[in-house]
Amino acid sequence: MPESLVVSVMRQHKVALLAREQVQMQAMAQRWLQVEQALDAQINALAEEFARMARDGVTPSQAKLFQMDRYQAMLKQLYVELGKYTDYADTLITAQQRAYIAQAIADSGAALQASGVVPGFDRLPIEAVENVVGLTGAGTPVHDLLTQTWPNAAQGMTNQLIRSTALGINPRETARRMQDGSTRSLNRMLNIARTEQLRVYRQTARQSYQTSGVVDGYYRLATRDSRTCPACLMADGHFYELDEEMPEHASGRCTSVPRVTGVKPPEWQKGPDWFVEQPPDTQKAILGKGRYEAWQRGEFDLDQLVTVKQNSTWGDSLQPKPLKELVSA
């Protein structure tokens, strides 16, 4: 099936958007190294002391750790460094949200022109969506959500210290594993950044369509690769009214294609049709081994994969049904 120009244009915009996001993720990961460097001496000293206690017959445990002055000092410094990193990440995410707003307004305008709409339609002023900057979909400040990741780092480091010491791993390797454990917080912050920036992009595009006066709804446009969420792929091409917000999960990469009033609806090969043409390895990577094998046995149809669940942080969240629900349906 030939792909409509507007769909091709929106795919190109998505590629550019995700490339920009990747640069940001790399910058955030690079900045995290400063957190690790600041903690390096404390972590190595703690690993040495805990290993020495274990050699003296003390069983490694969280209770023993909490009694150690060096552990408490390490935690104190960890939270200081996480505070600095959170301020950095919050500033960066807020700036990117503003940039994504401007990009979404430009991209939605290009989409309308690719649909055959002549310039002159009403455009959404940036000021109309400034109220979403610095906030999550649930209205919580992004800074607060970032701060909630701090215990992930502390627990990750603690678990690695206890586990590695109990296994008799040398202190230097234990310290390295503790640094790896701290990245639980970083991974969560990267997830927050991706989720909230793309949410603002989608929300701005939808409001742009509403403001234009020439759009009567929009379609989901999923990314098509082996990393695509199966629910997003099977919902590719789903139509939404303008007053409907497209449900999306954390780090979701879906964007939208407008339907212009009085113009032939855009056409493209939808996700389910694309999926069945892919080689088995790609299908298995998308569905996961269990779902793939059950689908091959004919135990469920692809259109049964999609469900929407309420998430306390992200709101309505598009999710693939668990295998247990699929095979019992």
Q: Where in the chain are the domains? A: 5-213, 217-329
pLDDT score, position 39: 94
pLDDT score, position 31: 96
Model-wide pTM > 0.75: yes
Taking 90 as the threshold, does the pLDDT of residue 128 lie above it? Answer: no
With bands split at pLDDT 50, 70 and 90, how would you rate the model's confidence at 82?
A: very high
User: Which residue has tokens 């099977």?
Assistant: 234
> Which has more confidence, 186 or 137?
186
Taking 90 as the threshold, does the pLDDT of residue 90 lie above it? Answer: yes
pLDDT score, position 139: 67
pLDDT score, position 1: 67
* Listed range (122-126, 153-157, 255-259, 291-295) with the worst mean pLDDT: 122-126
With bands split at pLDDT 50, 70 and 90, how would you rate the model's confidence at 137?
A: low
> Which has more confidence, 132 or 98?
98
**Mean pLDDT over all residues of the chain?**
92
Taking 90 as the threshold, does the pLDDT of residue 3 lie above it? Answer: yes
Please compute the mean of the pLDDT values over residues 180-205 and round it to a whole number.
93
- Express each pLDDT in 34-44 by its tens digit: 999 999 999 99
pLDDT score, position 123: 81
pLDDT score, position 329: 58
Q: Measured between alpha carbons, how far is 11 from 298 in angstroms, rounded to an integer? A: 32
